[in-house]
C-alpha cells in the first residue's frame, strides 16, 4: 500500500500503481493458465490507464455495463467491447450504438425476445453486425433467463437477421461468504446447459463467458471460454472479508483525516470521525460485512456508521485514539462505487511520485 | 410529479420544477412563521438553480459540508456560507479558504480545541474574520461535543484571536421512524445548555442552528435562531416512509426503463429489472426502509436488490408486470446521494418543456 503523498487534501482516492500492475499480471496469468480468455469488467475503474494495462497484459477486450462507458473507451481507442447488460435500445441509444460500431467490435447482452426485436427495429441493417450474447440466470435471479428459454431468444434473433455469438452470466450470489463454490458450480452448470440447448437448436456458440472476481480465480475452460472479473484490479474490503483478496493486494484506498475525536463514556461511544463519508466510499454494506470499509492502519477498528462526509470509527479499546489531523487510509467496501464518485484519482508510483488519473467514464449511466 | 419527457434516455434524474418551488416556498413560510431564519443545506442539490430559488424565498445564506462546495457556490455569487463541518484545515485547505473569504462571509464548524488552534495557525490573521460555530452532539454521537466541553473550545478560540459566533447540531437520530420527537427535544435541550454555558463564560452567542428536514418543521424559536434542512427541496423515499414528506411533494425521481422481465416460479421470484442501479440511486438503505427506493407508478412494488445498474423490483402478485421498455419513475431512498452521482439533471417545467441543470458542486469532497 502506497504512502499518502505529503500535502494530499482529503478525502482523496489513491492508487498504488505497482500493486495495481501486480494484480493485473497475477489474474492475467492465472486466467491464461486455465486456458481462458480475459475480458475484464471496466465498470470497476472507468479509466484508460487501467484498461490499457489490462489489454497489455493480454485481455482480449473490455467488458462494460452501459453504452456511455463503451463510447468513452472506444473514443480512447479500445477496439473490442462487450456491453454485458440486457440493453433496451431506444432511438437515442441506437444513434450512439451506431457511433460506437464505427470504432469498435461490439457485443451486447440480451435476455428477451422483446429486447432482440427492439434492437433489430432500432438499428436496422447494422443490427446484423452485433454479436448478441444471451444472458443466463445462474442463480443470482436478477436479469438473465433459464437455459431452457435461451433458444427462443436465439430464434427471434435469427428471424430478425441477427446472430447469437455466445452466452454469459453473472454469478452474483458468489458475493457471499458461503456462496463461492456453489456459485462456481451454478455458473458452469447453467452455461453448459444453455450452450448444449442452443447448439442442439443449430446455433454456433463461440463465447461462453463467466463473471466476477470471486469466481474467476476458481474457473477453468471445462465449460467457459472467458471470464470478466472487475474488482481484482484494486481489491476492496468486501473481497478482503470474503477471503478473495489478500490485505497486501489492496491497491486502492481513500486517504482520510481524523477531524473529530472522542474518548466517550458509558453512554457515548469512544470514536474518531474521518472526513471520508458515503460520498467517496459509497454506502454499500452487505449484511455479512463488519462495517462500512476497513482502516488500513488498524484492521481491528470498525466503521460503525457512515454519513455523507463522516465515517464514525470505533477504535480498539486497548489502543490510543489517533490524534486530530492524522491521515489514515480507508479501504472501501465496494471499490466500483468509490471510483464512480470522483473525477480523478491520485496514482502513486513506487518512487513516491504521483499523478492524477482521469476517471473518464465516471457517471456514464446510459 | 412531472411526466418523463419523450426521448429521455434512462436512467436520468428528473426534477419537477413546479413542485420544487412549492417545497421551497412551503418550508420558507413555515420556518419564517416560527420566527426562525433559514440557512438550507446545499449538499442535497449542489445546484445554483436550486440555491437561487432558496435565497429568493428568504434564506439568509447557504449551508455546505465542504470547502469545495463553498467555493463552488461563492464563485457563482452566493455571499454567505456556513461550512457546517468540523474542518481540519491543512495548507491546501487554508489557501482555498482564503480564496473563499474574498468572496463570501464565512462561518465554519469546529468541535475541538485542536482544530481551532490548527485553523488559527493555518489561516494567520485572516482567522479572526471567521465566524466559528461550535458543533454540539445532541444524541447522534457522530461529531460534536457535549455542552460541557464547549467552553474550552471557545476559550481556545479567544486565546487564538478567533471568535465564536454560535452553536449548531445535527440531530441525525431524527432519521428514524420513532426518533423524531425525541430528536427535536434533544436538539433544543443540548443547544440551550451549550448556549447557557457559553454565555455564562462570557461568549456572545448570536446563532443557534438546528438541522435536518425531519426536525426543521417541528422547531420553533424558543431555543433556535435558524434551521438548516436540506432534503425538503426534493423529498425522497426515506422522508416519505418516515411520514415527513407527502407523496405529492416528491420533486425528484429517476426515470428508468424495464430492461428485464420475469414471471418467475416456485424457486425464482416474479420481477422486473430497471436500469436504475446504485450508480444513480445510491445504495443507502436504512434497516427500517421497505427497499432501495420506491416506484412512483406502483407504491406496492418493492426494490428488493440493487446492483450498480440493476434495480430488481418485486411486483405485486395481483398486477401484471410492466412490459419491456416501459419507463417508470423511481424515488431514491436518499436524494443527496442520487444527485451527487450525476453531472446534470433534467429540470421539467409545468408546460412539459425541459432543460439540463448543472450539478456544479458534484463530487467536491474537499
A88, A145, A259: residue with CB nearest B257: A88
- Is the pLDDT at B180 greater than 80, yes or no? no
Same domain, A162 and A85: yes
Q: Residue A214: which domain range?
A: 79-229
Q: What is the mean pLDDT of residues A251-274?
A: 97
Same domain, A115 and A219: yes
CB contact under 8 A, A115 and B340: no
Q: Do residues B233 and B55 touch, judged by C-beta distance below 8 A?
A: no
**What is the CA A218 to chain-centroid distance, rounded?**
17
Q: Which residues of B touch A337 (CB under 8 A)?
A: 278-279, 283, 308
pLDDT, one tens digit per residue, over A42-97 is 999 999 999 999 999 999 999 999 999 999 999 999 999 999 999 999 999 999 99
The pLDDT-based confidence of A173 (bands split at 50, 70, 90) is confident
The pLDDT-based confidence of B211 (bands split at 50, 70, 90) is confident
Q: Which residues of A touch B341 (CB under 8 A)?
A: 340-341, 363, 365
Same domain, A88 and A128: yes
- Is the pLDDT at A217 greater than 80, yes or no? no
In a domain, A151, yes or no: yes
Q: Which residues of A touch B283 (CB under 8 A)?
A: 282-285, 337
Same domain, A191 and A276: no
Total of domains in chain B: 2
**Test the A interface: residue of B141, B171, B266 with most A CBs within 10 Å:** B141
C-alpha distances (whole Å) from A38 to each of A83, A189, A227, B104, B229 are 15, 20, 5, 53, 49
Q: What is the mean pLDDT of residues B64-91?
A: 97
In a domain, B30, yes or no: no
In a domain, A26, yes or no: no
- Show the cell assigned to A155: 430464434
The predicted pLDDT at position A219 comes to 85
Nearest to B52 by CA among B257, B288, B325, B358: B358
Q: Do residues A184 and A220 touch, judged by C-beta distance below 8 A?
A: no
Same domain, B83 and B225: yes
More confident residue, A206 or B174: A206
CB atoms closer than 10 angstroms to residue A57: 18
Query: Nearest residue on chain A to B13, judged by CA atoms?
Result: A365
- CA A134, CA B146: separation in Å to the nearest integer? 59
A12, A279, A337: residue with CB nearest B278: A337
β-strands A37-38, A226-228: how paired?
parallel
- Is the pLDDT at A26 greater than 80, yes or no? yes
C-alpha distances (whole Å) from A103 to each of A48, A49, A76, A106, A247 are 16, 19, 10, 9, 39
A9, A142, A307: residue with CB nearest B273: A142
Percent of residues, chain B, with pLDDT higher than 90: 92
Same domain, A87 and A166: yes
The predicted pLDDT at position A177 comes to 75
CATH code where residue A323 lies:
2.40.37.20
A77-86, A239-248, B55-64, B80-89: least confidently modelled range: A239-248
A93 near B CB under 8 A: yes
The predicted pLDDT at position A182 comes to 84
Half-sphere exposure of B211 (CA within 13 A, CB side): 29
Same domain, A302 and A348: yes
CATH code where residue A177 lies:
3.20.20.10
In a domain, B44, yes or no: no
- Is the pLDDT at A229 greater than 80, yes or no? yes
- CA B222, CA A111: separation in Å to the nearest integer? 60
> Across all residues in chain A, what is the average pLDDT?
96
Same domain, A195 and A253: no
pLDDT, one tens digit per residue, over B344-362 is 999 999 999 999 999 999 9
In a domain, B235, yes or no: no
CB pairs A-B closer than 8 Å: 172
> What predicted TM-score, i.e. pTM, was given to this entire model?
0.96
ipTM: 0.96
Query: Nearest residue on chain A to B145, judged by CA atoms?
Result: A262
B11: preceding bond cis by omega (within 30 degrees) = yes
Query: Nearest residue on chain A to B139, judged by CA atoms?
Result: A268
Same domain, B183 and B220: yes
B26-35, B208-217, B328-337: least confidently modelled range: B208-217
In a domain, B350, yes or no: yes
The predicted pLDDT at position A364 comes to 97
Q: Do residues B236 and B206 touch, judged by C-beta distance below 8 A?
A: no
- Is the pLDDT at B144 greater than 90, yes or no? yes
pLDDT, one tens digit per residue, over B5-17 is 999 999 999 999 9
Residue A152, H or E segment: helix A150-159
Same domain, A205 and A308: no
The pLDDT-based confidence of B177 (bands split at 50, 70, 90) is confident
Which of B229, B255, B279 is the C-terminal boundary of a domain?
A: B229
DSSP calls for B260-316: EEE---SSS--EEEES--HHHH-----TTSSSSSEETT-TT-EEEEE-SS-EEEEPP
Cα angle B361-B143-B337, degrees, rounded to a multiple of 5: 35
Q: C-alpha dihedral over B90, B95, B99, B104, to 10 degrees?
A: 20
CB contact under 8 A, A91 and B7: yes
CB atoms closer than 10 angstroms to residue A121: 12
The predicted pLDDT at position B182 comes to 84
Which of B210, B229, B248 is the C-terminal boundary of a domain?
A: B229
In a domain, A5, yes or no: no
In a domain, A61, yes or no: no
* Chain A closest-CA separation from residue B231 CA (Å): 13
The pLDDT-based confidence of A179 (bands split at 50, 70, 90) is confident
Same domain, B223 and B252: no
The predicted pLDDT at position A118 comes to 98
A259, A323, A366: residue with CB nearest B11: A366
Nearest to B311 by CA among B326, B289, B291, B325: B291
* Chain B closest-CA separation from residue A364 CA (Å): 8
Q: What is the mean pLDDT of residues B49-57?
A: 98
- Is the pLDDT at A237 greater than 80, yes or no? yes
A270 near B CB under 8 A: no
Which of B175, B208, B229 is the C-terminal boundary of a domain?
A: B229
Q: What is the mean pLDDT of residues A259-274?
A: 96
Same domain, A120 and A200: yes
* Chain B closest-CA separation from residue A33 CA (Å): 30
- Is the pLDDT at B260 greater than 80, yes or no? yes
- Is the pLDDT at B171 greater than 90, yes or no? no
A143, A258, A261: residue with CB nearest B259: A143
Q: Do residues A212 and A175 touch, judged by C-beta distance below 8 A?
A: yes
A87 near B CB under 8 A: yes
Amino acid at each position: 500500500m502506497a504512502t499518502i503523498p505529503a500535502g494530499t487534501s482529503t478525502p482523496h482516492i489513491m492508487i498504488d500503481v505497482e500493486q495495481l500492475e501486480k494484480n493485473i499480471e497475477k489474474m492475467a496469468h492465472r486466467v491464461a493458465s486455465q486456458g481462458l480468455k480475459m475480458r475484464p469488467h471496466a465498470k470497476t475503474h472507468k479509466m484508460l490507464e487501467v484498461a490499457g494495462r489490462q489489454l497489455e497484459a493480454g485481455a482480449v477486450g473490455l467488458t462494460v455495463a452501459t453504452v456511455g462507458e463503451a463510447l468513452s473507451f472506444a473514443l480512447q481507442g479500445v477496439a473490442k467491447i462487450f456491453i454485458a447488460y440486457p440493453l433496451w435500445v431506444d432511438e437515442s441509444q441506437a444513434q450512439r450504438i451506431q457511433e460506437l460500431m464505427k470504432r469498435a467490435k461490439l457485443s451486447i447482452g440480451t435476455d428477451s425476445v422483446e429486447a432482440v426485436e427492439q434492437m433489430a427495429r432500432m438499428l436496422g441493417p447494422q443490427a446484423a453486425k452485433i454479436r448478441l450474447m444471451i444472458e443466463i440466470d445462474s442463480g443470482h435471479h436478477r436479469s438473465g433467463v433459464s437455459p431452457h428459454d435461451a433458444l427462443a431468444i436465439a430464434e427471434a434473433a435469427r428471424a430478425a437477421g441477427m446472430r447469437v455469438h455466445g452466452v454469459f452470466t453473472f454469478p452474483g450470489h458468489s458475493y457471499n461468504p458461503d456462496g463461492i463454490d456453489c456459485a462456481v458450480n451454478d455458473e458452469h452448470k447453467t452455461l453448459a446447459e444453455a450452450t448444449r440447448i442452443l447448439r442442439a437448436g443449430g446455433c454456433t456458440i463461440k463465447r461462453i463467458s463467466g463473471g466476477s472476481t470471486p469466481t474467476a480465480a476458481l474457473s477453468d475452460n471445462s465449460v467457459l471460454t472467458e471470464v470478466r472479473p472487475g474488482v481484482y484490479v484494486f481489491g476492496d474490503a468486501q473481497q478482503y472479508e470474503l477471503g478473495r483478496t489478500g490485505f497486501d493486494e489492496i491497491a486502492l484506498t481513500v486517504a482520510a483525516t481524523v477531524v473529530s475525536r472522542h474518548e466517550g463514556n458509558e453512554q457515548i461511544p469512544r470514536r474518531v470521525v474521518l472526513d471520508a463519508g458515503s460520498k467517496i466510499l459509497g454506502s454499500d454494506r452487505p449484511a455479512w460485512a463488519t462495517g462500512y470499509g476497513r482502516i488500513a492502519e488498524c484492521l481491528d477498528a470498525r466503521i460503525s456508521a457512515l454519513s455523507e462526509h463522516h465515517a464514525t470509527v470505533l477504535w480498539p479499546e486497548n489502543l490510543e485514539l489517533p490524534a486530530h489531523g492524522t491521515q489514515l487510509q480507508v479501504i472501501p467496501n465496494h471499490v466500483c462505487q468509490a471510483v464512480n464518485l470522483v473525477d480523478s484519482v491520485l496514482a502513486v508510483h513506487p518512487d513516491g511520485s504521483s499523478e492524477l488519473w482521469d476517471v473518464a467514464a465516471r457517471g456514464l449511466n446510459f
